[in-house]
Amino acid sequence: MENRPPYPLRSVDNALHLLQVLRDQGGLRVSEAAAELGTARSTAHRLLAMLVYRGFAVQDDNHTYLPGPALSAPSLLGGPRMQRLRRALLPHMEALCDRVNESVNLMVRVGTQTRFLATVESHQALHVGDRQGTILPAHLSSGGRALLAELDDAQLAALYLTEDASSSAAHRDTSASDRDGKISTADFQRLLEGLRGVRRSGYALNLEATEAGICAIGKCAVDRSGQVVGALTIAAPTPRFPRSRISPLAAELRLTIERACHDMDPHIM
């Protein structure tokens, strides 16, 4: 192979090889991945699990690994602005993490997806790990729902409904999301109802909607002019996320965002 580095990292090369297979073939099972790489099944399984963790693969009900959202995600524009946003918010995220002792994330929305720009991990032994670079559906994640609540119903319909569904709401009644981010009319109506609740409360919840055993609460972050620049979330293992803790966590998020807005220039985004 041309341009092969003099000291290749086998694990990295194997992971990249699997990415190419997923991209070109559309899916594979652990046994097929092991045969492709010439490794043990346990090694192939660990590599695929890392690809799932970072959003480059997903596993279906038949235990087949398919291309994940990170493989088809559009580029995140405005790199320098995103770096300024991270720098401005990281000290406040660290302070929030220290107060609540749970992991804190910064997220932005790109179409129907949310991207994790930064994570400050909790020091507790059992905690939600680093999610930087992860992509989640906006209508399921707490930060994504907080950001979607800033849009009106027409803007939401343009994001989530096909033209046919927008004009005739009776024909899409499945609960599964389409690969292009479109959702069924029934799910869209549930989303609208849920976002009205987000607007009333000022925060959004994700109660194991994206990952079993993990819950999160999210709220929009704003600059000094009041412009929404992203969302901050607090994520915790479900046993440490009882209903009684939601209001205190929401109050901590609100305090953090109020303090952080003074450090964010109106032209940061």
Is 92 among the domain residues? yes
Arithmetic mean of pLDDT over the chain: 87
Predicted pLDDT of residue 101: 97
Q: Are residues 26 and 107 in the same domain?
A: no
- 176 has pLDDT over 50: no
Across 236-260, average pLDDT: 97
36: domain CATH number is: 1.10.10.10
Q: Are residues 234 and 149 in the same domain?
A: yes
Q: Are residues 63 and 171 in the same domain?
A: no
Rounded CA gap, 265 and 212, in Å?
37
Q: What is the pLDDT of residues 99-135, one digit of tens each?
A: 999 999 999 998 999 999 999 999 999 999 998 888 8
Q: Are residues 58 and 91 in the same domain?
A: no
Domains in the chain, number: 2
Is 269 among the domain residues? no
More confident residue, 232 or 225: 232
Strand order in the sheet with 214-222: 135-137, 113-120, 103-110, 228-237, 214-222, 204-207
Calculate what percentage of the chain has a pLDDT beyond 70: 86
Closest listed residue to residue 136, CA positions, set 108, 156, 162:
108
Is 211 among the domain residues? yes
More confident residue, 213 or 262: 213
Q: What is the pLDDT of residues 31-76, one digit of tens each?
A: 999 999 999 999 999 999 989 888 888 888 888 998 887 777 666 6
Q: Are residues 14 and 115 in the same domain?
A: no
Residue range(s) defining the domain that contains residue 160: 80-263
From 18, 38, 72, give the residue that closes a domain.
72
